């Protein structure tokens, strides 16, 4: 089914979307590969190499920050506003989740590492969901 002419993305929107995909793709692939290497134990579990492989995950994380900044610079004013609102909601969720993790750790419930990872992933998913919820309402 084809979009009606008034709802089609402009050429600049398609170029921005493609550029955003190209910016994000290497970071996501690197994170998946590093996760597989870590989970399968392919890097070895002893000595300073373990620290190196753990910190190597920061490189794709920084790449994602770069992709977000580049995407915001390419966005128009309305898209920036939507992104800022979604980021604020995601940050609020992360703040409350980390607060809850601290309370759970105070009483000895759960594993700190897993709870923080779940909080981080959940806040990013909320950020994306808020952005998806906010943007289509105007189309």
Res 15: pLDDT: 82
Helix (H) or strand (E) holding 19: helix 11-40
Specify the pLDDT at position 19.
Answer: 84
Backbone φ and ψ for 44, nearest 5 degrees, come out as 90, 150
pLDDT of residue 3: 54
Residues 6+ apart with CB under 8 A from 94: 119, 120, 122, 123
Cβ pair 28, 61 in contact under 8 A: no
Q: How large is the angle between the packed helices 11-40 and 58-74, nearest 10 degrees?
A: 170
Question: What per-residue confidence (pLDDT) applies to 16?
Answer: 78
Which residue stretches of the chain have pLDDT < 70? Answer: 1-8, 43-48, 136-139
Q: What is the pLDDT of residue 113?
A: 81
Give the pLDDT score at 2. 55
pLDDT computed for residue 79 by the predictor: 86
Which residues neighbour 112 within 8 Å (Cβ) at sequence distance 6 or greater? 101, 105
pLDDT number for residue 44: 59
């Amino acid at each position: 089914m084809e979009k009606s002419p008034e709802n089609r993305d402009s050429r600049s929107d398609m170029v921005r979307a493609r550029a955003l995909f190209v910016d994000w793709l290497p970071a996501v692939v690197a994170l998946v590969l590093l996760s597989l290497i870590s989970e399968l134990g392919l890097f070895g579990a002893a000595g300073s190499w373990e620290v190196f492989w753990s910190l190597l995950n920061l490189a794709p994380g920084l790449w994602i920050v770069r992709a977000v900044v580049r995407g915001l610079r390419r966005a128009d004013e309305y898209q920036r506003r939507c992104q800022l609102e979604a980021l604020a909601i995601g940050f609020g969720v992360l703040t409350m989740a980390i607060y809850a993790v601290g309370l759970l750790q105070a009483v000895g419930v759960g594993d700190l590492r897993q709870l923080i990872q779940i909080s981080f992933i959940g806040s990013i998913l909320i950020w994306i969901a808020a952005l998806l919820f906010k943007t289509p309402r105007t189309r």
